[in-house]
């Protein structure tokens, strides 16, 4: 069985950034503009309501009815947000696949609005539906097993079985996520939606794939936190002092004035770069590994 370098794959996002600085700059600028527009619309439409909902959700003792009441009338906003996320991620994931699998196709900074993007959207929807179905199925099984255990051996046995089935559920979700991780790259490469093919290509490679993805996630988290600290420091330097540093971590959505403080403006200006760097670090490994397994020399992509 042909193998790959998990270490090289986990660093593939950094290589893409290094070799495609202009492309990353364009993506970051476009993402910043999109994020700015969405933030303004969201705050104008439901800023205070969102703030209330998040505050209630963060309190464990909050009455669920109060949270649901705060969400009243926000269905359209959630649908628009979901549609926006689907479009953005479909375009960007197609762009990442294009960077790795078709590096010569550089027109438009590797971004398009076409059949490839539509297929990526379909893959995102299908994979998430599979994961969602598996999650709800596992939850039902977990509740049933916990109830049976409580009936046979008391509350302690019920809790123990509930914990064990919860761990099994987490393991199932992890296995599914890894085994389906080539769906996007395979679909982009072949020009047809192929979820099943990812399961076949990842067979026997779960642990090295998991290792590569976990390292990439840790690196993305480090970059994310580091950039947040830099954003907070710069924002504090422009006004508000140390107290303003909290704006980078917990933006105020109650109004445009509260959101676009000096620290908030700095955060907005850096938001696109932050999003693109994290996206490349997390999502570059699957197409890179796929390319290696399919016999492509991805090193050529990076010079």
Rounded to whole angstroms, the Cα distance separating 203 from 121 reads 24
Residues present in the chain in total: 303
pTM of the model: 0.85
**Ordered per-residue pLDDT tens for the chain, 303 residues:** 457 788 889 999 999 999 999 999 999 999 999 988 888 888 887 777 777 776 666 666 556 666 667 666 677 778 888 899 999 999 999 999 999 999 999 999 999 999 999 999 999 999 999 999 988 888 887 778 767 766 666 666 667 777 787 788 888 899 999 999 999 999 999 999 999 999 999 998 999 999 999 999 999 999 999 988 888 778 777 765 555 556 666 677 777 777 777 777 788 888 899 999 999 999 999 999 999 888 754 434 433
Rounded to whole angstroms, the Cα distance separating 289 from 303 reads 17
User: Considering only CA atoms, which of 132, 157, 131 is closest in space to residue 146?
Assistant: 157
Q: What is the DSSP letter of 255?
A: -
184 CA to centre of own chain? 14
208 CA to centre of own chain? 21
């Amino acid at each position: 069985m042909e193998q790959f370098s998990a270490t090289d794959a986990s660093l593939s996002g950094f290589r893409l950034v290094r070799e495609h600085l202009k492309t990353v700059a364009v993506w970051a600028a476009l993402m910043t503009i999109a994020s700015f527009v969405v933030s303004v619309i969201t705050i104008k439409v439901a800023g205070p309501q969102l703030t209330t909902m998040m505050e209630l959700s963060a309190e464990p003792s909050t009455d669920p009815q109060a949270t649901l009441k705060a969400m009243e009338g926000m269905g359209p906003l959630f649908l628009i947000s979901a549609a926006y996320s689907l479009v953005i991620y479909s375009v960007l994931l197609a762009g990442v696949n294009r960077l790795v699998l078709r590096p010569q196709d550089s027109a438009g900074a590797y971004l398009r609005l076409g059949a490839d993007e539509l297929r990526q959207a379909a893959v995102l929807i299908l994979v998430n539906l599979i994961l969602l179905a598996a999650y709800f199925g596992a939850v039902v099984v977990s509740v049933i097993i916990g109830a049976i255990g409580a009936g046979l051996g008391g509350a302690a046995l019920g809790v123990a079985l509930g914990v064990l089935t919860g761990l099994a559920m987490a393991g199932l979700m992890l296995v599914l996520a890894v085994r389906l991780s080539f769906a996007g790259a395979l679909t982009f490469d072949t020009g047809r939606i192929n979820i099943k093919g990812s399961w076949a290509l990842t067979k026997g490679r779960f642990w090295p794939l998991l290792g590569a993805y976990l390292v990439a996630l840790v690196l993305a988290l480090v970059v994310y936190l580091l950039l947040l600290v830099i954003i907070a420091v710069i924002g504090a330097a422009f006004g508000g002092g140390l107290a303003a540093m909290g704006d980078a971590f917990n933006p105020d959505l109650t109004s445009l004035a509260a959101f676009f403080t000096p620290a908030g403006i700095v955060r907005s200006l850096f938001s696109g770069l932050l999003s693109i760097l994290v996206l490349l670090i997390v999502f570059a490994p699957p197409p890179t590994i796929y390319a290696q397994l399919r016999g492509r020399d991805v090193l050529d992509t990076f010079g």
